[in-house]
Structure 1
């Protein structure tokens, strides 16, 4: 057992992450009770074909810090170290490119804890990467981890992943399904649904959560199918859903797969509607191009009325909330990055806001003080409004309102900062946070902190 006062970061540095399983619980807390500097290790994919996932997540986080510090976001963040002054505390961000790969995230997290000696970890857009960090690194250090935008519900649902050290402000797949499923079951005539999902943690989480929510609401699941990422041949699968009598189809995919599915759906003659979640700008750009190709320019509300797609849920988009905080967020974000805040940006803004609030609560960056402050915290400053996110004490997942919106042509007001021909409409419906998240007494909830 390490000597009294030795941090687990130093233990990791000495013996390595692979050989310290027996040391868990033996070391002192990470961090410092001096709040002058808060060092945060940031892990986001910043290269490759979905670098935008990591960029919008980082931009949201930087905007959250800037809002709390009454300053402007860093405009061109790069891997390396960036510093932001927020009141009397300097937030030192050690930014690393996790490349959307679990192995890379594990290596980076180990280095951030052992060599950089960060006070906290933040990030991972990939749910698989977040799981790897939790399973291989987090248990051997006292450093708290703010996961996000990794969206698999299991991170804050399954007993092997949830922990007093793991928090998530970002919305998750269970929230997508519970809000989307609630709308389909209560606000439409759909009674039979076919579920498609990508064959990895994100897609399976989407399908499994929709299946549970819809079945509980009396909607029949007439089939489900998982396919590999970038699956491109959809005619046969879409026809299977038609033959099964589906009145609605849900697709749990990212930009790697969704455009091909949507394009072939538009080209077919199917009686059902597509449901799911509003994606990021890059997915909407691809879907918008497909709609323009099929329907012609310009896209209009009348043309879109004939498309059997939506409404869709949204975790966050810039035009879903009308409050002073969101107005400032949209202004500062679009001024710094040339785009409006996107799907992941609201959750990561809130993550940064919560961390600042936690540091201020005890005037400390000590790991125990940070985790104590985040536990059950209602976050005061969020893009969804004041006090709009609350970390649930039983699993450290923040609950927040979700919205449901139609697909609408992008208006002139947003055409310069939203690079897609379609965007979410004004909200059709709002689902309260306590209805969108898995409750503590659900048989789905295998986390009891």
Structure 2
């Protein structure tokens, strides 16, 4: 047994005694798949002894990664998209085709002389389930590190109850609450995130709206949980710093539908723009009310994933008629929107290869979460190769301050900040436009992001170390 694993078992024993690791039926089935070339199919979960080399930057042996993503339920596309990006990152590093099976099970990908055993588990977008699965993966599968969680609440729970107690490195993502890497409660020298966050949305999109549009007053709406509050708080800080007046803010439950009165409140408050910090559970109802109403303010924020964008596109078609045109959309003061990543926002050799491979494997274009999770895999491989070790602690040491070479945003496109382990990367701003015939093959929505109207370099997208919003110092 590898050094430190007994300690992890002991550290989590109190959770096990409370019933957290009663995992019958929760750890997934067989579902093994091999990625080629240079990959093996290995469903044997027995203890393995890593062999490492040092001094020349090479490594050999096995890295066991516990992977937590929602692959069932209403938000399974979030998990599928995150996994597709993650699998594509490994495929790019070994020159093969990405894994296509996202069901629970064990997959093995080989890069060089290192086997990456990926223990995929369905987190069901639940904090309780994520905690249970993470505990099982650390205690019983003896993983070297954890990756995942699309839910910010789930990611926070895993950090609080597993990562901090067991001392196992964790690559969060695509969970986007800025607090994960800016709040002292969750900031941790073992917690990393390549995926973009809500502060990056605000610091790019908010500045663009303040500096490039005529909006001078904004009403902020957000879901009443960690993600929504993070969106509102970050936009509030950025917009006020840019001289934009915040005329009101309101938090509502996820899935809220009674928007007419709240949107009228924004009008009555004198808002020239509104921001909505919501997921697919709430955004369609908000946009439906906005588009069917008579509101003279601009809607801006972050460009959503395909599942939300498809519903918004359907609503635009119902309200504005078909065919949609850019002029019709612009007349609604709909956008511009920040995009963390979409397939058509970056033109470089890595992204071009990624887009082609991803589309061939999954029949979709890479979406909002894809670049961040691709980069997570790329960074892990780079850390193993650079440190010459497959041990979790050594991987974490290499990740700190790393500039990731192979990313969809270009070579050296992401850098993990030394003060909070959040990767900074460029962001773009795009207008919503009718989906082109070419994009329509792999994009199931009536609207899509335009070519970038602005690009914000990675040095200007994240919360600075000396900001009042940064309560983290590693």
State the partner residue of 1:394.
Answer: 419
Name the CA distance, whole Å, in 1 between partners of 2:5 and 2:367: 41
State the partner residue of 2:99.
Answer: 74
1:212 CA displacement: 0.5
Q: Matches of residues 97-116 of structure 1 in structure 2 within 5 Å?
A: 97-116=122-141
Structure 2, gaps ≥5 residues long: 19-47, 53-59
With the length of structure 2 as denominator, give the TM-score of the two structures: 0.90
In the alignment, structure 1 residue 148 sits paired with structure 2 residue 173: yes
State the partner residue of 2:218.
Answer: 193
State the partner residue of 1:425.
Answer: 450
Structure 1, gaps ≥5 residues long: 20-29
Distance 1:271 1:15, change over 3 A: closer
Q: Matches of residues 247-396 of structure 1 in structure 2 within 5 Å?
A: 247-396=272-421
1:173 to 168, 179, 198: 198
Name the CA distance, whole Å, in 1 between partners of 2:193 and 2:336: 26
In the alignment, structure 1 residue 243 sits paired with structure 2 residue 265: no
1:299 CA displacement: 1.2
1:148 CA displacement: 0.2
Name the CA distance, whole Å, in 1 between partners of 2:206 and 2:330: 21
Secondary structure in structure 2 of the residue aligned to 1:36: strand
With the length of structure 1 as denominator, give the TM-score of the two structures: 0.95
State the partner residue of 1:46.
Answer: 71
1:7 CA displacement: 3.8
Deviations 1:22-52 (A, max 9, x none): xxxxxxxx99553321110000001000100
State the partner residue of 2:255.
Answer: 230
State the partner residue of 1:414.
Answer: 439
Deviations 1:301-343 (A, max 9, x none): 2222212110000000000000010011111111111101100
1:15 CA displacement: 5.2
* More displaced stretch, 432-441 vs 30-39: 30-39
Indicate conservation of the 8 Å contact 2:12/2:166, yes or no.
no
State the partner residue of 2:10.
Answer: 11
1:202 to 227, 243, 259: 227
Indicate conservation of the 8 Å contact 1:12/1:114, yes or no.
no
1:5 CA displacement: 5.6
Secondary structure in structure 2 of the residue aligned to 1:245: coil
Distance 1:6 1:208, change over 3 A: closer
Deviations 1:204-238 (A, max 9, x none): 00000000110111100000000001101111000
Deviations 1:241-288 (A, max 9, x none): 001000010000101000110011011111100010000000000000
1:12 CA displacement: 4.4
Indicate conservation of the 8 Å contact 2:12/2:165, yes or no.
no
State the partner residue of 1:405.
Answer: 430
State the partner residue of 1:182.
Answer: 207
Indicate conservation of the 8 Å contact 1:31/1:365, yes or no.
no
Deviations 1:326-382 (A, max 9, x none): 011111111111101100011000000000000101121112211110000000000
1:298 CA displacement: 1.4
Indicate conservation of the 8 Å contact 2:103/2:122, yes or no.
no
1:18 CA displacement: 6.8
Distance 1:61 1:5, change over 3 A: closer
Length, aligned pairs only: 437
| Aligned-pair Cα RMSD in Å | 1.6
Indicate conservation of the 8 Å contact 2:341/2:371, yes or no.
yes
State the partner residue of 2:90.
Answer: 65
Distance 1:31 1:342, change over 3 A: farther
1:14 CA displacement: 5.2
Indicate conservation of the 8 Å contact 1:96/1:108, yes or no.
yes
Indicate conservation of the 8 Å contact 1:8/1:140, yes or no.
no
2:146 to 113, 118, 121: 121
Name the CA distance, whole Å, in 2 between partners of 1:148 and 1:31: 28
State the partner residue of 1:26.
Answer: none
Indicate conservation of the 8 Å contact 2:193/2:376, yes or no.
yes
